[in-house]
Amino acid sequence: MGPPAPVVTAAGARRLHNRRWRPYERPMRITTIGFDADDTLWHNETIFRLTQDRLREMMSVYASHEATNAKLAEVEGRNLRLYGYGVKGFTLSMIETAMELTNHAPPGRLIADILAAGREMLSHPVEPLPGVEKTLFELTDDYRLVLITKGDLLHQEQKLAASGLGELFSGVEIVSEKDAGTYKRAFERHGTGAHEAVMVGNSVRSDILPALEAGAWGAHIPYHITWAHEVAEAPADHPKFVELATISDLPAWVRGLS
């Protein structure tokens, strides 16, 4: 009995239907699957949102919740090119937000509380998302699995170790930014090139669009929260794009490409 059909969203189902069973197309050969980490393999944005809630409460005597949110988004946006992605840059942006909203005179207790919140984020337990471990085990014997994630090098290495998933990957790439060149280099280094690779992730902006530009397939698995700086429109009509309901649907879909 063959594998179950993947459960896809309505839009994803239409795209799959449009490109299935075309006898004049030669079968695809997929050798390598890249995976994003944060909010694809384990929870991440939820932790950031909870900490942002804490910051709003800390700042409530100085600014409204809306003003704190807006200022933090502004500060993060201009700091990304300096600090990159991750908890440490986020903590620095929270401190800068507090400084600007207190006319550059924040009490020492406020800064100490923000630093404590950042440390708690760094030590937060890693919680793999449902179906992740089973899916990786199912794929690892037939494909090269590569972790391609951006963020702080040390923290991402710590999270991968804590997840217990590290041994399932044949390669790990922790990068400062994800663009088409990132994916071309990663899939050439760890596989047989982008044209025989699939990139899996929750972010259309970082995981899907540049991977498609590099020539890979893109499998979007939405997370229930999306960071404002990662929002982008899904390439609904791209022939190498699919949106899957859960990561558990990935093995059947990948094998269907061949």
* Residues 133 and 115 grouped into a single domain: no
Q: What is the C-alpha separation between 204 and 43, in angstroms, rounded?
A: 17
pLDDT digits (tens, 9 = 90+) for 9-38: 544 444 443 443 333 344 568 999 999 999
Which one-letter amino acid corresponds to residue 197?
A
Question: The CATH number of the domain where 90 resides is what?
Answer: 1.10.150.240
* Residues 183 and 219 grouped into a single domain: yes
Structural domain includes residue 4: no
pLDDT at 85: 84
pLDDT digits (tens, 9 = 90+) for 152-197: 899 999 999 999 999 999 999 999 889 999 999 999 999 999 999 9
Q: What is the C-alpha separation between 97 and 74, in angstroms, rounded?
A: 9
Q: What is the C-alpha separation between 94 and 72, in angstroms, rounded?
A: 7
Range(s) of the domain holding residue 207: 10-42+127-257
DSSP characters over 190-250: HSS-GGGEEEEES-IIIIIHHHHHHT-EEEE---S---GGG-----TT-TTEEEBSSGGGH
Indicate the pTM of the whole model. Answer: 0.82
The overall average pLDDT reported for the chain is 88
Q: What is the C-alpha separation between 169 and 194, in angstroms, rounded?
A: 17
* Residues 157 and 34 grouped into a single domain: yes
Domains held by the chain: number: 2
Tokens for 154?
């040390």
